[in-house]
């Protein structure tokens, strides 16, 4: 493995670790300073901190119980980790995207292992019309997935390479 690949892998590991750190510290602060179910307005009704426990998957979906969620999250971590190791170093946006997904997934797996549920607290909406309450790890996964889609949907690349996976017509 050449030095540039090692440097990129080290940077991506650092980004994933930073995502886990920010996620876990923010959850700890919420758990230490709020009571379960408490909602604190930050920007009127648009942005609130609302402390909840989410035993389900993304957006509170439940299927198969907490152990199935943990198994699926573990499998996803393995797949994303493998993708991150196999991705060429010059695919900077895709590497960043996978590092964010990896770090976010680890943050939520830590919660599932420790508590059996995930701490959520970021609450956006207007009045009674609210988005699902989420956390920093969820935001990292979502931003990473969006970046990954963007990295594979555009750009000047050759047939069969990221950015043009279907080749020419």
Return the active site residues: 120, 138
Give helix 136-153 / helix 92-115 axis angle, nearest 10°.
150
CA 58 to chain centre: 10
Sheet holding 129-130, edge to edge: 39-43, 47-54, 118-126, 129-130
10 Å CB burial of residue 166 (0-12, 13-18, 19+) is: exposed
- Rounded Cα gap, residues 162 and 167, in angstroms: 10
């Amino acid at each position: 493995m050449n030095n540039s690949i090692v440097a990129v892998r080290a940077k991506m590991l650092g980004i994933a670790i930073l995502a886990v750190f920010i996620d876990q510290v923010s959850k700890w602060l919420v758990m230490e300073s709020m009571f379960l179910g408490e909602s604190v307005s930050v920007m009127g009704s648009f942005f609130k901190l609302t402390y909840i426990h989410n035993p389900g998957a993304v957006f509170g979906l439940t299927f198969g119980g907490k152990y199935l969620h943990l198994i699926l999250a573990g499998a996803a971590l393995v797949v994303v980790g493998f993708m991150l190791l196999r991705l060429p170093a010059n695919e900077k946006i895709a590497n960043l995207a996978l590092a964010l997904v990896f770090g976010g997934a680890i943050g939520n797996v830590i919660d599932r292992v420790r508590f059996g549920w995930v701490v959520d607290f970021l609450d956006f909406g207007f009045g009674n019309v609210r988005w699902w309450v989420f956390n920093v790890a969820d935001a990292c996964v979502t931003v990473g997935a969006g970046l990954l889609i963007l990295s594979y949907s555009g750009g000047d690349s050759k047939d069969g390479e990221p950015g043009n996976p279907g080749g020419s017509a």
